Each structure stands twice: as structure tokens, then as C-alpha cells.
Amino acid sequence: MKNRIVLKALGLIFGVACSGMFTSIALAQNYPGKPVRLVVPFPPGSATDLAARVVGQQLSTSLGQAFVVDNKPGAGGSIAAMEVIRAAPDGYTLLFSSNSAISSNVALLKKIPYDPNKDFSAVTGIGETMLVLMVKSNFPAKNVQELIAHIKQRPGKVTAGYGSSTSQVSIAIFNKLAGLDALAVPYKGIPLAVNDVLGGTLDFTFVDIGNALAQAKGGNMRALGVTSLKRNALAPDWPAIADVLPGFDVTAWFAVVGPAGLPKDVVDKFDAATEQALKQPELKARLSTVGITPMRMPPEQLKAFVGSEIIKWTRIVKDANIQPE
């Protein structure tokens, strides 16, 4: 009698396990069976938004379902992050984010409402980019040296807007290395800071290179320097800020993560589709026009990378004397 009970129990456990395994396989085989929402932590027109739309369109073609961009700006990406963390772990709500929500916020926020290492499932790496120091086209400073002199002559009166953690850190490092006190003003996204530079409310800002190219081409703004150690091939005439301030090196990256507990088969299918998408010449060309270089990174590598980036950004924020908000 006891043996029968044990065998029935084992059979029930085996059946439940098999049922879960088959459900997971079926989910992966049918994924995506409906539109996928890509939550973006910045407003339309930002580099993250543009990358999400370009990659999402390619994935729609290859996977046969719509990938809908849903902009949820605010709190350095935390609003979008929590939206995804609270979603069902089925692969239909994903965070298409820059380093802000996934790593930088740990150092920049006093009370971050989530743990990037535990509350997300790493899915895939997308790309990397840099920022550009920009002023309005009629601004008196024509280069980095002249901007530094301009700020020093007006202590505490020159304003700089930031719309991401990368732009915030860029301002802080610029202040520290040049011995300046430009006032940093927060925005929900870089495009909003650009608008106020154009309107005369702000003196300068750091812009993603895609938007910087568009503004420079239109004659609205002037680029003074890029935040990477070397010049960028998209704009070879723009010098590196590091040429004037040695050691200045700030870059940003983009990746897709989901809620904790995403089925591995779903993660692998999304990652494989993204890998193929990033190999397409037309996608590479479209990303290049907005200043993004593909950054291929499978789930396990992305998970380790995020952990190392949290350590890196914590050090950068501390060195730049940024007080968590």
C-alpha cells in the first residue's frame, strides 16, 4: 500500500515537471504569438528610443509580430524599470534600456526600488554610443577651451542640462576635470534639454551623437567635442574632449532585459533573433546613422557585464563627486 502511494506521488511530481517542461517548450516555439511591448525609459527622439524602433522593426520582420515601443520616461529610467519588473515573465513586456536603468541608477539614486542583478532577466546586448558636448549655433564659445574660459568668467551662472545618467556624469566629470561649477539641470530626456538649449534657457548639454548630427546638419547647434577618448568616424571633424581634458571618457550602451524568471527558451529565441538582426547590413547602416555601434552580447555575458558596469559606474559617480538624488 505504501509503495503504491509513493509511486503515485512520484508519478504526480514527474507529470508536473514534464507539464512545466512541455509548457516552456511550447511557449518558446510559439513565441512571439502576439505583439511584444518594448518599454523605453526615455522620451521619443532619444537615442534609446531610436535604437528600440530600428531594432524592433527588424525583429517584427523576422519574427512576424509587432514590437511596440512604449516610452515611460522619468526617474532616470526607474519608472520604466518597475513597469517591466512588475510584468508577467512571459517575454511580452521587455525593457529596452540604456545603462541608466540597468546599472548607473545604483550609484545615482539614494533609494533605488529594485536590484538590477536580481530583478531582471538578461536577454541580449544591442549597441554602444557616445555623447557630444553641444551649444547653440550662436553661442560665443567655438571650442572646448573657449567654453571652459566662458564658464570660469561666470562662476555659478552657466547652466548645463542632462537627460540621462550618461549626460549627468559627463557634466560632472567636465566640471571636475576643468575645475568648473556649471549648474547641472535635470530633464526627463536629452531631447528636452536640447529644446531648452535652442530656446536659450540652457547654455550647453551633452547630446547622443545621432541627435547631435541632426542638430549640427540643420545649423541649430554647434558640436564642441565627443565624450569618447577618440574621434568618431561619423563626425571626424569633431575633436575628443579628452584632447583638452585628458582622461575624459564617457560612453553609453543599450541592452534588452525582462522580468526575473523569463523562460530560458524565450530568452534564447529573442537573443538569437537579435543576433541575426544585428548582422543585417541595412540594420547596421540604420544604427550607424544614429551613432550606434552593434554590441553583440548573449544573456550570460550580458548578466556579467551588467554586474561589472554597476561597479564601474559606482566608481565613476564617486570620483565625479556626484551626490545621489
Per-residue model confidence as pLDDT tens digits over 134-157: 999 999 999 999 999 999 999 999
Are 118 and 259 contained in the same domain?
yes
Please give the angle made by the CA atoms of 115, 275 and 165, to the nearest 5 degrees: 35
Domain tally for the chain? Answer: 2
**Mean pLDDT score, 294-318:** 94
> Which pLDDT does position 143 carry in this prediction?
98
CATH of the domain at 155: 3.40.190.10
| Residues 301 and 281 reside in one and the same domain | yes
| 68, part of any domain | yes
Q: Is 110 inside any structural domain? A: yes
Residue 5 lies in a domain: no
Greater confidence (223 vs 27) lies with 223
6-10, 97-101, 227-231, 298-302, range with greatest mean pLDDT? 298-302
Strand, coil or helix: what is 130?
strand
- 72 and 208 together in one domain: no
Whether pLDDT at 133 is above 90: yes
The answer on pLDDT for 2 being more than 80 is: no
Handedness of CA 98, 99, 103, 104 (dihedral sign): negative
Instruction: Domain of residue 178: give its range.
Output: 130-243
- pLDDT tens for 22-68 read 444 555 678 999 999 999 999 998 889 999 999 999 999 999 999 99
Quickly state the pLDDT bin for 6 (edges 50, 70, 90): very low
How much is the average pLDDT of 92-104?
94
User: Which residues share a beta bridge with 97?
Assistant: 255
Grade residue 4 by pLDDT with cuts at 50, 70 and 90: low
Cell 541580449 locates to 124
Residue that finishes a domain, picked among 243, 276, 292: 243
Q: Chain-wide mean pLDDT for the chain?
A: 90
Is residue 324 one of the residues assigned to a domain?
A: no
pLDDT value for 110: 86
Give 37's strand partners: 68, 93
Strands of 238-277, DSSP E: 251-259
Residue 304: all three cell numbers together: 556579467
Q: Are 144 and 241 in contact (CB under 8 A)?
A: yes
